[in-house]
Amino acid sequence: MIIAKTKYELNEALGQISLSPGKLALVPTMGNLHQGHLSLVKLAKLNSSKTITTIFVNPLQFGKNDDFDNYPRTIEQDIKKLNDENCDILFLPKSRNEMFPDETEIQLIKSGSLGKELCGKLRPDHFDGVLTVVHRMFNIIKPDIAVFGAKDYQQQILIRNMSKSYFPNLNILTAPIVRSNNGLALSSRNNYLSNEELDLASNLFKCLKKSVDLYQLGESIEVIIKTAKEFLISINLVPDYYEIRDELLSPIFNSDQVGKKVILGSLKIGNTRIIDNIEFNS
């Protein structure tokens, strides 16, 4: 695996692998890689002949009360895992300047009204920061394919929308959520939780599954959400939001609407925010 730490080294690496035929797939990450991230690399390799992973803890998507300085950084372990997956290139910018050489000329990508809902209500400007750095990566790497995880459902919808506008020929793939044995979606922020808190957090997914069952039985959306919130509160988990939406994240007002849907939930355990979702058809 080629490790590029500067824009110059990245261009050299991309030029080297461009000599071989086939599509290039990009897997953007912030590191601290777990099996969820590696599933993205696996999906990328299934759909391309050349794979590049990026590890960049993007300061633009962290608010003033977020955990940028404490975000887990495990570079040596990450490199070994990517080597084991036979990733072709790792872009590991040595500084913020390698991504944004002239901060006065950063092309800020706005996430619009959808970026202010759900997680966007809790983290103002977060999705603007995500879209800005992803847009920058797409511009400098020019992949044929980009792979994102379904756990960050709102994020991947916003990236798809941005990509349609700026990179219409780019194929965006979404990999399924990878879960631990108790159902908790894998996340780098799970490292902040104790074993007891990890068990407690798994109740969010149990709640999502129960909500799908109630929806399929014809229960009203109002009752489904009320039941879910009451259950979570009963075990000292206060949801930041818990909503049922269609696959493009437009609100759903009655359970008669057919088609693909998603239930999304968010809550905090201590200072750690847990997000999850479940997709289903009705």
Residue 157's nearest CA partner among 174, 176, 139, 178 is 174
User: Would you say residue 141 lies in a domain?
Assistant: yes
166 and 192 in a common domain:
no
156 and 98 in a common domain:
yes
Above 80 in pLDDT, residue 104? Answer: no
CATH number reported for the structural domain that contains residue 244 in this entry: 3.30.1300.10
For residue 130 the two structure tokens come to 């995500």
pLDDT recorded at residue 63:
74
pLDDT recorded at residue 64:
67
116 and 60 in a common domain:
yes
Above 70 in pLDDT, residue 260? Answer: yes
Which amino acid type is present at position 190?
A: N
Q: What is the arrangement of strands in the sheet containing 2-4, beginning at the earlier edge strand?
A: 2-4, 89-91, 50-55, 24-29, 145-149, 171-175
How many domains are there within the chain? 2
d(CA 89, CA 41): 11
Catalytic residue at 37?
yes
Give residue for tokens 């990508």: 109
Q: What is the pLDDT of residues 170-226, one digit of tens each?
A: 999 999 999 999 999 999 989 999 999 999 999 999 999 999 999 999 999 999 999
Domain boundary among 175, 196, 221: 175
User: Would you say residue 282 lies in a domain?
Assistant: no
d(CA 124, CA 147): 25
